Amino acid sequence: MLPTLILLVVVVAFPLVSAMYLSMTKGSLMKTSGFVGWANYVSLFSNREFLSALRFTAIFAVTSIAGCYVFGLGIALLLQKTLPARGLLRVLFLMPWVIPSVVAVAGWRQVIGSEDALANLFLRAIGQNTVYFLSDDTWAVISVIVIKIWRSIPFVMLSLLAGLQAIDRSLYEAAAIDGANRVQTFFNVTLPQLKTVSIVLSLMMAIWSVNDFETVWLLTQGGPGYATQNLVVLSYLYTFKRSNVGLGTAIAIMTLVVLMVLIVMSLRQQRQPK
């Protein structure tokens, strides 16, 4: 019991208390210069950059969850059927999850990162205008979200495929005897049976999306302007680039509160009887 308690204090409590203290100070990581109480937290609610990051974080999380779920479920339903080379297809659909983040994002930058990237060469070849995927606000947001969805689909697909294979076949037989068509069977048998795994998946995806640093940073570094700046990137910028450790850790603590709420919801959902 005592070793566990000491480990929790060293690994969890000390860093958390230190971060709380830093969030109530001003100065840099090298030298703090005074206790300011809740002033950093209060100032966040009038900080345009923070409000923009909060808005983008919410959009990023919601659209990523929706996109991953729709495509993940579609692919899981497809892979559940008897297809030629089904094993190979499963491996190929897992590739975005297996490729390291740096390699995956570097590859995407080759496709959409400049006027002469592959996507723009193709668009011009078919008579379309050049699209500035990473330097236009709207296109940058869309690009970051699409790449996040692309990277997350394999995990969602795999989890939903396991959920589909656990559904009792007798439910489908009963639906067929009642005369239900495929659409009715999907909405009245398949989706309800996937309810628990879908909720847990959505909460986990929300946690990973809110906490996602590498996708945004490697692709746009939060730009152009504040367009793709999420809370984690903003916290990093204030703490390590602008030497404002108080505001940076205050943003990190606010992000932690959001994540803790999602984690508690996820744990409560997993404990509910099926």
Q: Is the pLDDT of residue 267 over 90?
A: no
Distances (CA, A) of 59 to 131, 158, 219, 229: 22, 24, 17, 11
- Over residues 209-231, mean pLDDT: 92
pLDDT at 274 over 60: no
Answer positive or negative: Cα dihedral of 29, 30, 34, 35: positive
Mean pLDDT computed over 50-74: 95
- The pLDDT score that the predictor gives to residue 90 is 81
C-alpha count within 13 angstroms, C-beta hemisphere, residue 66: 7
Report pLDDT for 264: 85
- Tens-digit pLDDT profile for residues 102-123: 999 989 999 998 888 999 999 9
pTM: 0.89
- Write the pLDDT tens digit of every residue in 143-184: 999 999 999 999 999 999 999 999 999 999 999 999 889 999
- Given a cut of 80, whether residue 47 has pLDDT beyond it is yes
Q: Percent of the chain, pLDDT > 70?
A: 98
Q: Which of 212, 83, 205 is nearest to 156 (CA)?
A: 205
* Helix extents (H) in the chain: 2-8, 14-22, 39-44, 48-80, 86-98, 101-112, 118-125, 137-165, 169-177, 182-185, 191-193, 195-210, 214-219, 231-236, 245-271
pLDDT of 273: 62
* 213, 232 contact by CB (below 8 A): yes
Q: Which residue has the higher pLDDT, 155 or 8?
A: 155
Is residue 180 left, alpha or beta, with left meaning phi > 0 and alpha meaning psi from -120 to 50? beta
Residue 269 has pLDDT above 80, yes or no: no
Which pair of structure tokens corresponds to residue 60?
Answer: 């990023």
- Pinpoint the alpha helices (H) of 166-194: 169-177, 182-185, 191-193
